[in-house]
């Protein structure tokens, strides 16, 4: 469970101070599927980065399973990212010179998994996203939808409890978008994940049981909680 209290993030751009998040308070239950919508520059990615311990807030707290990511030391944050939280991005962020399997295996290195264990788990993760046959393909030999499947396998191979997805369908056509959302929804249900999905796409957000909107750094519930 996430308990976020008075989360504020400011950036300095030259002489200007940008308030990316202003006093955001939010609770996200275990196993919840939450989508985040809002205009560009509203603070969506900043919130996701705070949830994943990728960036420290200016003030406030982000408590995940009783531990505050806002004040945790670097070693603690590395552990959270290695074990507890998986990320999926709009641009897939695969390493172009590594095969699909090798890309997935990279996620197991920080937690110290042995080579044989990494290989076995990476193949199983690729199978779970329907890409068992493509394990030895390079990203450049795969379609956008297939590359995003590899990225999803990489995010989930470490058995995280939380999956954070930042515009995961932003670079895909409508059919592929629907396939990827079907896949994420299926994995969310099967694995009991907490899934937080940033999306510009109302058709994607409409499938979430809970939706929030972030604009000018402030959060509004759209589903009447
Ligand atoms: N590293 C940074 N340095 C300075 N300003 C930043 C930085 N990251 C984000 N910002 C600013 O913070 C505000 C919120 O940005 P954020 O990326 O969270 O918005 P967003 O809702 O995800 O937008 P988009 O939909 O375009 O991705 C914007 O004004 C942005 O310019």
Q: What is the pLDDT of residues 190-205, one digit of tens each?
A: 999 999 999 988 888 9
Closest CA to 81 of 162, 191, 149, 151: 162
* pLDDT at position 112: 87
115 band by pLDDT with thresholds 50, 70 and 90: very high
Our mutation pick for probing the ligand 1 site, out of 15, 44, 200, counting the most ligand atoms within 8 A of Cβ, is: 44
Distance between Cα 134 and ligand 1 center (Å): 35
User: Quick one: average pLDDT of 124-137?
Assistant: 96
Q: Which atom of ligand 1 is nearest to the CA of 46?
A: 18
As a residue count, the chain comes to 225
Pull the structure tokens for residue 194: 């907490």
* Residue 138 in domain: yes
Question: Residue 218 above 80 pLDDT?
Answer: yes
Question: Residue 224 above 70 pLDDT?
Answer: no
139 band by pLDDT with thresholds 50, 70 and 90: very high
Residues touching ligand 1 (Cβ under 6 Å) are: 11, 13, 18, 20, 38, 40-46
Q: What is the pTM of this model?
A: 0.94
* Residue 66 in domain: no
User: Quick one: average pLDDT of 102-113?
Assistant: 93
Q: What percent of the chain has pLDDT over 90?
A: 92
Distance between Cα 45 and ligand 1 center (Å): 7
Distance between Cα 128 and ligand 1 center (Å): 33
Distance between Cα 193 and ligand 1 center (Å): 26
* Residue 136 in domain: yes
ipTM of the shown complex:
0.95
* Residue 179 in domain: no
* Residue 101 in domain: yes
Distance between Cα 43 and ligand 1 center (Å): 6
- Domain count for the chain: 1
Q: Which domain holds residue 135?
A: 93-156
* Residue 170 in domain: no
* Residue 150 in domain: yes
* pLDDT at position 134: 96
Write the CB contacts of 213 (distance below 8 Å, at least 6 apart in sequence). 36, 37, 38, 42, 219, 220, 222
User: What is the per-residue DSSP string for 152-163?
Assistant: HHHHHTT--SEE
Q: What is the pLDDT of residues 62-76, one digit of tens each?
A: 999 999 999 999 999
Q: What is the pLDDT of residues 15-36, one digit of tens each?
A: 999 999 999 999 999 999 999 9
Our mutation pick for probing the ligand 1 site, out of 8, 16, 45, 52, counting the most ligand atoms within 8 A of Cβ, is: 45
Question: Residue 225 above 80 pLDDT?
Answer: no
User: Quick one: average pLDDT of 130-141?
Assistant: 97
Q: Which residue's C-alpha comes closest to atom 2 of ligand 1?
A: 11
User: Quick one: average pLDDT of 7-21?
Assistant: 94
* Residue 162 in domain: no
């Amino acid at each position: 469970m996430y308990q976020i209290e008075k989360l504020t993030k400011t950036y300095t751009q030259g002489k200007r101070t940008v308030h990316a998040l202003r006093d955001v308070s939010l609770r996200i239950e275990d196993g919840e599927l939450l989508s985040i919508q809002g205009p560009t520059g509203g603070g969506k990615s900043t919130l996701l980065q705070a949830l994943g311990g990728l960036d420290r807030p200016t003030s406030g707290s982000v408590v995940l399973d009783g531990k505050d990511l806002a004040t945790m030391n670097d070693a603690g944050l590395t552990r959270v990212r290695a074990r507890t939280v998986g990320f999926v991005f709009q641009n897939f962020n695969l390493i172009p010179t590594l095969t699909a399997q090798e890309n997935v295996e990279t996620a197991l290195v920080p937690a110290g998994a042995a080579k044989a264990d990494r290989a076995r788990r990476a193949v199983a993760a690729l199978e779970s996203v329907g890409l068992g046959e493509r394990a030895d393909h390079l990203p450049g030999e795969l379609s956008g939808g297939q590359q995003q499947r590899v990225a999803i396998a990489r995010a989930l191979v470490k058995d995280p409890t939380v999956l954070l997805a930042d515009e995961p369908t932003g670079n895909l056509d409508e059919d592929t978008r629907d396939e990827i959302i079907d896949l994420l929804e299926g994995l969310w249900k099967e694995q009991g994940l907490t899934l937080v999905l940033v999306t510009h796409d109302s058709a994607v957000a409409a499938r979430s049981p809970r939706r929030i909107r972030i604009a000018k750094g402030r959060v509004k519930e759209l589903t009447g909680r």
